[in-house]
């Protein structure tokens, strides 16, 4: 009794994944909390810790869904920017953004406009983006945030645009992972960083058994009870099982051209954060 994704022709995977997320969009955030007992929040916080956002950074959050990574990024970086502004004011200088921005702009890139950090949430599914936008409105978070419909395999952005590219729980849904990685490389600026948070492989046999039992027996039931959607959550479990292990995925990132590729396991390898630089 599986969802049959293994037998789906490649060309249809994108369409099926679209339907899954269209169907779960409204309940997506609630289900994340329920299935992970809230732990997905800590995993996302860890991604931000690895990123170490700096004022003026441009983030592209691919498969960004309802915006969790971008919200965390803007929240963190805005408080940093306010701290810098306060320091400048204390030093009795004009606390203008222009002044601050030039100190962070790359040589030759001095801008007339203040350079504040920005985040773009890009996702193939407009239903997920819609839920994210409503959430942003409720939080009063609008400045420096945009929502763009786009496919990770063919990003609607020019080359060398972003300081950071993130993809959280998204890359396993993409039909051609190698293309998505090449696109990540293309849109990052030289010196920019790729950071991926994704389900991975648990090494400890006991934890692995527990995790498998939970995944196959509990998650689809939760999906049915909370979202009325057994199949979508069965897909979720299958897609996790099929995703390459830490070392294999690291090799794929290197194949796309990234340097200094490394990963950290979280929760015993239930998820891993991979990162690499475009030089
Ligand atoms: N990053 C968000 C988070 O961590 O909560 C959302 C993750 S959600 C599990 C996976 C997202 O990947 C969905 O919103 C889905 O629409 C998106 N997605 C799937 N295939 C995609 C593709 N080819 N290009 C862009 N986004 C895609």
CA of 115 to the centre of ligand 1 (A): 28
Residue 92 is labelled as binding a ligand: no
SS3 95: coil
Question: Domain residue spans in the chain?
Answer: 5-103+114-277
* Interface predicted TM-score (ipTM) over 0.90: yes
Average pLDDT over residues 47-64: 96
Ligand 1 centroid from CA 245, angstroms: 20
Please check whether residue 237 is in contact with residue 270, taking contact to mean a CB–CB distance below 8 angstroms: no
Three-state secondary-structure class, residue 145: strand
- Note the pTM of the prediction, 2 decimals: 0.89
Q: How far is CA 120 from CA 59, 186, 273, in A?
A: 6, 16, 20
The reply, when asked if residue 152 is annotated as ligand binding, is yes
What is the reported pLDDT for 79?
86
**Within 6 Å (CB) of ligand 1, which residues are found?**
17, 21, 62-66, 68-69, 123-125, 128, 151-153, 168-170, 173-174
Q: What is the mean pLDDT of residues 160-180?
A: 98
> Has 123 been labeled as part of a binding site?
yes
Q: Taking residues 197-222, report their average pLDDT.
A: 95
d(CA 94, CA 274): 41
Model pLDDT, residue 113? 45
- 66 in a labelled binding site: yes
Rounded to 5°, the CA angle 42-126-71 comes to: 30
Residue with tokens 């920005």, as numbered in its chain: 118
Coarse DSSP helix, strand, coil percentages of the chain, rounded to the nearest 5 percent? 55, 20, 25
Average pLDDT, the chain: 90
Of 21-35, 81-95, 103-117, 134-148, the range with the lowest mean pLDDT is: 103-117
CA distance 8 to 11: 8
Distance 167 CA to ligand 1 centre (A): 8
Relative to the CA of 64, which ligand 1 atom is closest?
Answer: 1
Q: Which of 72, 123, 223, 232 to mutate to test the pocket of ligand 1 (most atoms within 8 A of CB)?
A: 123
**Distance between CA atoms of residues 175 and 59, nearest Å:** 23
Edge-first strand order for the sheet with 271-277 is: 145-149, 118-123, 58-62, 162-168, 188-199, 271-277, 259-266
Matching residue, tokens 């956002």: 53
CA of 65 to the centre of ligand 1 (A): 5
> 5-103+114-277: CATH homologous superfamily?
Vaccinia Virus protein VP39 (3.40.50.150)
């Amino acid at each position: 009794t599986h969802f049959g994704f293994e037998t789906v022709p490649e060309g249809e995977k994108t369409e099926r994944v679209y339907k899954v997320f269209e169907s779960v969009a409204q309940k997506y955030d609630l289900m994340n909390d329920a299935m992970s007992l809230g732990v997905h929040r800590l995993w996302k916080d860890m991604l931000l810790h690895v990123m170490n956002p700096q004022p003026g950074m441009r983030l592209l959050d691919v498969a960004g869904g309802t915006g969790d990574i971008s919200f965390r990024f803007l929240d963190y970086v805005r408080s940093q920017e306010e701290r810098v502004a306060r320091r400048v004011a204390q030093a009795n200088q004009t606390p203008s953004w222009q002044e601050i921005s030039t100190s962070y702009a790359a040589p030759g890139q001095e801008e007339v406009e203040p350079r504040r950090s920005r985040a773009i949430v890009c996702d193939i599914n407009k239903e997920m983006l819609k839920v994210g936008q409503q959430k942003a409105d409720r939080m009063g978070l609008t400045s420096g945030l945009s929502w763009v419909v786009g496919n990770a395999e063919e990003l609607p952005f020019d080359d060398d645009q972003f300081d950071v590219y993130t993809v959280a729980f998204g890359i396993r849904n993409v039909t051609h992972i190698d293309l998505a990685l090449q696109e990540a490389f293309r849109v990052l600026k030289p010196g920019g960083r790729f950071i991926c948070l994704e389900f991975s492989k648990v090494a400890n046999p006991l934890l692995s058994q527990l995790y498998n039992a939970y995944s196959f027996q509990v998650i689809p039931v939760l999906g049915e009870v909370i979202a009325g959607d057994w199949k979508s959550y069965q897909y979720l479990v299958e897609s996790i099982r099929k995703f390459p292990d830490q070392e294999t995925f690291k090799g794929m990132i290197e194949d796309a051209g990234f340097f200094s590729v490394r990963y950290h396991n979280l929760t015993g390898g239930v998820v891993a954060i991979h990162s690499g630089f475009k030089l």
